[in-house]
Amino acid sequence: MSPFLLVIVKHLCRKGVHPDRVADAMGWPTSRVWRTVDGEVDSDTFATLAAEAEDGSSSSFDSRRWHCGDDDLVHADGKSFAFSNQWGGERWRRAMDDLTSTFPDFGIEYGPAE
């Protein structure tokens, strides 16, 4: 389910919604939603910079927990953002509900697969 959420979040960001606003809408701390590095960088550089960063987070950077491929990264304000892929079960539903209610003008809809 997480790749679907990534598509929604990337769409919002492409339409001008700042990644921090996405995190706020989801009700999670920005550091749990996005891993951020300075500069608009590619995937390899992102992984290197994120691993070297001393951002005060409680865990070291593990690229398996983030959407940090070249096509996955979001760029804004001279930074690169990787979206978390840790959205299973109820957390996914809550995130989707929060995004659909916060951004109704974007027409986000979802439901069970048929």
pLDDT reported for residue 1: 44
Residue 110 has pLDDT above 90, yes or no: no
Kindly list the domain boundaries of the chain, sorted by start residue: 2-96
| pLDDT higher than threshold 80 for residue 61 | yes
| 70-100 tens-digit pLDDT | 999 999 999 999 999 998 888 889 999 999 9
* Best-predicted range by mean pLDDT (32-41, 55-64, 84-93): 32-41
Residues 6+ apart with CB under 8 A from 85: 2, 6, 64, 65, 66, 67
Q: Which pTM does this prediction carry?
A: 0.89
Give pLDDT, residue 3: 85
